[in-house]
Amino acid sequence: MFQTLKSYQFLFEELVKRDFKKKYKRTVLGMAWSVLSPLLTLLVMRLVFTQFFGHTTPHYTIFLFCGNLVFAFFSDSTNQGMTSLMDNAHIFTKVNVPKYLFLFAKNTQCLINFGLTLCVFFVFCALDHITFTWRFVLLLYPIACLVLLNLGLGLILSALFVFFRDMQYLWGVFTQLLMYASAIFYSIDGYSPQVQRIFLANPVYLIIKYFRVVVIDASLLSWHYHLLMASEALIVLGIGCWMYKKYNHQFLYYV
Amino acid sequence: MTILEAKNVSIRYITGDFKDIGLKEFVMRKLTGNYHVTEFWADKDVSFTLERGEMLGIIGSNGAGKSTLLKAVSGIMVPTEGWIRREGTIAALLELGSGFDGDLTVKENAYLRGAMLGYTRKFMDEKYDEIIAFAELKDFEERPFKQLSSGMQSRLAFSIACLVKPDILILDEVLSVGDGAFRKKSEEKMREVISGGATTILVSHSLEQVREMCTKVLWLHKGKQIDFGSDVQGICDRYQLFLDRKLEL
């Protein structure tokens, strides 16, 4: 497995480069867009929702930013990952390359974008007088979980997308709904404990909450919580890998 | 030493309803039992063996299953029945133009295509100037690929591909690229690669080429194996008769 990955490293790098160049082709601001667009979303949300939730939630801007940061990465990565296999159909039907490589390249590009936004996020934290503690290092854990979750969903979605083009629209609607269910601009404290439990089934919410607890509350979460996050991401990833293994040689017939 | 062996290889394509219908139609038709998939055997019971250094020519009219067979040999497809065993590295030059991206420059495309063919970055760094020189594209390095003429595009494609040094080499109609002058150059280059000791599979519509270069011939017709053997001239003669409609299958 690692041997194969090593031998495809060059191709992988070139694919990432290609995706980058294509994405920002003929844009004046280029890569600045990847930072600007979440900032604009943040600005709008901040203007609209402060009225309703801002007065009761401390550090509301950072609270919003945590949600936006995580969700933008999630939505970007899965939506682009979904089409990655179809977009490269002209390649894998003619050249024998591992098909997951296209998805990995796309996700890497999204991860780099996320990294840039994360830097801006820390700048905002400093501006909002958040104290930086050693606990910030722990943020690597939810980020790792999110990357695995995105990869897993990307595998599942890109495979399904080959068979059913409807997936594009279904997933568009689903991400919209998930956005509202991920408590990006509101706090779930007002709900009954039973309802709060339901939120735990949403891996995106788990990750957003992790960010908020570490950054805003400067505290830690239980190991149960860590375990729950990892298992949700790994289950999704497992299903994705299984689908690719099963349908690997059938994609060819459907493109 | 047998370097490539195919035994009773059959490859089935599925065609029919599924390609154009969406999720809703799929579910509806599954429920009403109205979902039809038709099968199509692109290759049926094809067997051949190749020893090291041999050259196999595959002949047959359009739709004979040549390209599909090559896809199976190169590992892009898996045979529905039968098996293929291969030793060593394999380089399949199926469609030279595949994998290029119109928006990237010539240089970026060269690296991308090189990566797809399994070259290393170091190798590309060393050979890049040679590739551009051979393709005669010195003045076009920073141009987007889509602005090149189709002849230039195939010249670049060929120049990258001809650097391969595999154990098994698969050539699908690639011996005739570009204009007259370049064609001569490319044929010479390809012969050089072949004479490097690679076991080669050649698909060609030029019978002269096959007669001249190949040591074995495989004749396919509508997916079925008509003949296979090292009697190159004999099989080619019979194929010629078939083409002239003097021989019925």
Average pLDDT value for residue range A37-56: 86
Q: What is the pLDDT of residue B20?
A: 67
Question: For B77, which of A7, A10, A249 is closest by C-beta distance?
Answer: A249
Check if B133 contacts A (Cβ < 8 Å). Answer: no
Is A96 in contact with B14 (Cβ distance < 8 A)?
A: no
How close A94 gets to chain B, by Cα (Å)? 6
Q: What is the pLDDT of residue A222?
A: 93
- Which pLDDT band, with edges at 50, 70 and 90, does A124 fall under? very high
Average pLDDT value for residue range A219-224: 92
Average pLDDT value for residue range B197-208: 84
B224-249 burial: b if 16+ Cβ within 10 Å, else e: bbbebeeebeebbebbeebeeeeeee
Q: What is the pLDDT of residue A94?
A: 85
**Residue pair B106/B159 in contact by the 8 Å Cβ criterion:** no
How close B147 gets to chain A, by Cα (Å)? 16
Is B103 in contact with A21 (Cβ distance < 8 A)?
A: yes
Average pLDDT value for residue range B168-187: 76
Is B99 in contact with A90 (Cβ distance < 8 A)?
A: yes
Neighbours of A8 (CB within 10 A): 19
Residue B18 confidence (pLDDT) above 70: no
Cβ-Cβ contacts under 8 Å, B120 against chain A:
10
CA angle, B103 as apex, B100 and B109 as ends, to 5°?
Answer: 40
Both tokens of B186, joined, read 């490319």
Q: Which of A4-18, A53-67, A169-183, B41-55 has maximum average pLDDT? A: A169-183
| Per-residue pLDDT reduced to its tens digit, B214-225 | 899 999 999 899
Question: For B99, which of A7, A94, A170 is closest by C-beta distance?
Answer: A94
Check if B102 contacts A (Cβ < 8 Å). Answer: no
Q: Which of A136-140, B9-13, B86-90 has maximum average pLDDT? A: A136-140
Cβ-Cβ contacts under 8 Å, B107 against chain A:
none
How close A40 gets to chain B, by Cα (Å)? 29
Residue among A126, A228, A100, A165 at smallest CA distance from B24: A165
Q: What is the pLDDT of residue B32?
A: 81
**SS3 sequence of chain A:** CHHHHHHCHHHHHHHHHHHHHHHCCCCCCCCHHHHHHHHHHHHHHHHHHHHHHHCCCCCHHHHHHHHHHHHHHHHHHHHHHHHHHHHCHHHHCCCCCCCHHHHHHHHHHHHHHHHHHHHHHHHHHHHCCCCCCHHHHHHHHHHHHHHHHHHHHHHHHHHHHHHCCCHHHHHHHHHHHHHHHCCCCCCHHHCCHHHHHHHCCCHHHHHHHHHHHHHCCCCCCCHHHHHHHHHHHHHHHHHHHHHHHHHCCCHHHHC
Check if B103 contacts A (Cβ < 8 Å). Answer: yes
Cβ-Cβ contacts under 8 Å, A19 against chain B:
none
Cβ-Cβ contacts under 8 Å, B96 against chain A:
none
Q: What is the CATH number of domain B2-89+166-243?
A: 3.40.50.300
Domain ranges of chain B: 2-89+166-243, 103-164
Least confident piece of the model among A150-154, B6-10, B138-142, B177-181: B177-181
How close A93 gets to chain B, by Cα (Å)? 7
Percent of chain B clearing pLDDT 90 (strictly above): 24
Check if B116 contacts A (Cβ < 8 Å). Answer: yes
Q: What is the pLDDT of residue B53?
A: 83
Check if A15 contacts B (Cβ < 8 Å). Answer: yes
Domain ranges of chain A: 2-254
Average pLDDT value for residue range A50-78: 90
ipTM of this predicted structure: 0.83
Residue A106 confidence (pLDDT) above 90: yes
Average pLDDT value for residue range A63-92: 93
- Which pLDDT band, with edges at 50, 70 and 90, does A66 fall under? very high
Question: For A96, which of B26, B76, B111 is closest by C-beta distance?
Answer: B76
Cβ-Cβ contacts under 8 Å, B115 against chain A:
10-11, 13-15
Q: What is the pLDDT of residue B17?
A: 61
Q: What is the pLDDT of residue A138?
A: 93
A234 or B209: whose pLDDT is higher?
A234
Site from B20, B23, B29 to mutate, A interface, most A CB atoms within 10 angstroms = B23
The B81-86 sheet, strands edge to edge: B81-86, B2-16, B37-51, B224-229, B216-221, B55-59, B199-203, B168-172, B90-93
Both tokens of B194, joined, read 């072949």
Check if A18 contacts B (Cβ < 8 Å). Answer: yes
For chain A, the average pLDDT equals 91
Residue B16 confidence (pLDDT) above 80: no
Q: What is the pLDDT of residue B190?
A: 78
Least confident piece of the model among A71-85, A158-172, A224-238, B183-197: B183-197
Q: What is the pLDDT of residue B175?
A: 62
Question: For B99, which of A7, A17, A95 is closest by C-beta distance?
Answer: A95
Is A249 in contact with B24 (Cβ distance < 8 A)?
A: no
Percent of chain A clearing pLDDT 90 (strictly above): 65
- Which pLDDT band, with edges at 50, 70 and 90, does B178 fall under? low
How close A205 gets to chain B, by Cα (Å)? 29
How do beta strands B81-86 and B168-172 pair?
unpaired
A11: closest chain B residue by CA:
B115
Residue A86 confidence (pLDDT) above 70: yes
B116: closest chain A residue by CA:
A11
